[in-house]
């Protein structure tokens, strides 16, 4: 048992999730890094521990509800509670809508949409059971609002994250649980580094103020701020962490 906050970060092995895990741990929270990439997930945990923080790794495929349920149970078994659930794991595929492999479409929906639903449901149930007034934060995207060619499934999944956030916030507020989303724009992580079309990356970069990619640490800082009790008025909201990407 602990009187520290306990934060679960899905997709914690890389990019935004990794930096968020490091951020929460550096502030004294106990962190559960969840990812299906075991090697990188364990490296994140090793880095946190080396820097004096507390963390464990739980191998998780967020597209499987039983994995996410087991993740939440392992969190409570280890640290005694769950205060923050950051549903962040996500994938992107770039292919024209009519030429895409339907398997790719389904895998994007399974991870980005169903993975977030699984996190909301599993963490929400556990917080309700334990009477914890926690916070659930979901990673949406500017692509939940703005369309661009080649990312049909990604838009569908992130639009769904936005509406699931609002819907769950309405219902979970009676238990004192906040649900919100963060919407990054173009962030310097492997998801973008993997795009073969440099023209597409340059175009995304040009929409970020200062013509650059946002750093994953900046998004991590936003997620941390939203998790604090001082952010109690922010509920059911989608908070842009996009350095202006969707504003102009
Ligand atoms: P990333 O590739 O660095 O990190 C994604 C992580 O999710 C990886 O560690 C990966 O192993 C993990 N993951 C993928 N599928 C999983 C599964 N089924 N179960 C568990 N873990 C899984 O990319 P990132 O940019 O840090 O992405 C994090 C989130 O931010 C995603 O939801 C992404 O859609 C969103 N986002 C990213 C950007 C950007 O520009 N990078 C912009 C907007 C939104």
Task: Tell me the pLDDT tens digit for each residue of 113-136.
Answer: 999 999 999 999 999 999 999 999
Q: Identify which of 57, 74, 25 has the alpha carbon closest to the alpha carbon of residue 224.
A: 25
Domains identified in the chain, total number: 1
Got the DSSP string for 16-39? HHHHHHHHHHHTT-EEEEEES-HH
pLDDT of residue 19: 98
> Residue 86 is part of a domain; what is its CATH number?
3.40.50.720
Domain assignment present for 246: no
Q: What is the pLDDT of residue 2?
A: 60
Domain membership flag for residue 162: yes
Task: Give a yes or no: residue 139 inside a domain.
Answer: yes
According to the model, what pLDDT value does residue 117 have? Answer: 99
Would residue 27 count as lying in a domain? yes
Which alpha helices (DSSP H) does 27-114 contain, by range?
38-50, 65-79, 102-108
Predicted local confidence at residue 172, as pLDDT? 98
Residue 242 included in any domain? no
Atom of ligand 1 nearest to the CA of 13: 9
Burial class from Cβ neighbours inside 10 Å (0-12, 13-18, 19+) for residue 128 reads middle
CB 88 within 8 A of CB 20: yes
Provide the 3-class DSSP secondary structure of residue 72.
Answer: helix
Q: Establish if 149 belongs to a structural domain.
A: yes
pLDDT at residue number 200? 87
The pLDDT of residue 134 is 98
- Quick one: DSSP state of residue 81? -
> What pLDDT was estimated at residue 17?
98
Task: List, chain by chain if needed, residues with CB within 6 Å of any ligand 1 atom.
Answer: 10-11, 13-17, 35-37, 60-63, 88-91, 111-112, 115, 139, 141, 184, 186-187, 189-192, 216
Half-sphere exposure of 235 (CA within 13 A, CB side): 18
| Ligand 1, atom nearest to 37 Cα | 11
Active-site residue numbers?
154
Look at residue 239 and tell me if it is in a domain.
Answer: no
Quick check: pTM over 0.95?
yes
92 CA distance to ligand 1 centroid (A)? 8
Note whether residue 163 is domain-resident.
yes
CA-nearest residue for atom 3, ligand 1, is: 15
The segments of the chain whose pLDDT lies below 70 read 1-2
List the domain range (segments joined by +) for residue 178.
6-232
């Amino acid at each position: 048992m602990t009187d520290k906050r306990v934060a679960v970060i899905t997709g914690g092995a890389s990019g935004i999730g990794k930096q968020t895990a490091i951020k929460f741990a550096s502030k004294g929270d106990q962190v559960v890094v969840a990812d299906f990439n075991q090697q990188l997930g364990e490296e994140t945990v090793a880095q946190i521990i080396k820097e004096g923080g507390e963390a464990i790794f739980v191998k998780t495929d967020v597209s499987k509800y039983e994995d996410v349920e087991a993740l939440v149970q392992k969190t409570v078994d280890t640290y005694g509670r769950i205060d923050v659930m950051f549903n962040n794991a996500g994938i992107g595929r770039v292919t024209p809508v009519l030429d895409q492999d339907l398997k790719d479409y389904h895998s994007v929906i399974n991870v980005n949409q169903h993975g977030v639903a699984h996190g909301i449901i599993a963490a929400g149930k556990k917080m309700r059971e334990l009477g914890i007034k926690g916070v659930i934060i979901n990673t949406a995207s500017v692509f939940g609002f703005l369309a661009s060619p080649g990312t049909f499934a990604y838009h569908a999944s992130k639009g769904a994250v936005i509406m699931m956030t609002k819907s769950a916030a309405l219902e979970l507020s009676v238990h004192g649980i906040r649900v919100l989303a963060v919407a990054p724009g173009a962030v310097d992580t492997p998801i973008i580094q993997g795009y073969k079309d440099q023209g597409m990356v340059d175009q995304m970069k040009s929409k970020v103020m200062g013509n650059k990619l946002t750093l994953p640490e900046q998004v991590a800082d936003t997620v941390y701020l939203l998790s604090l009790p001082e952010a109690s008025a922010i509920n059911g909201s989608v908070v842009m962490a996009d350095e202006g990407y969707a504003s102009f």
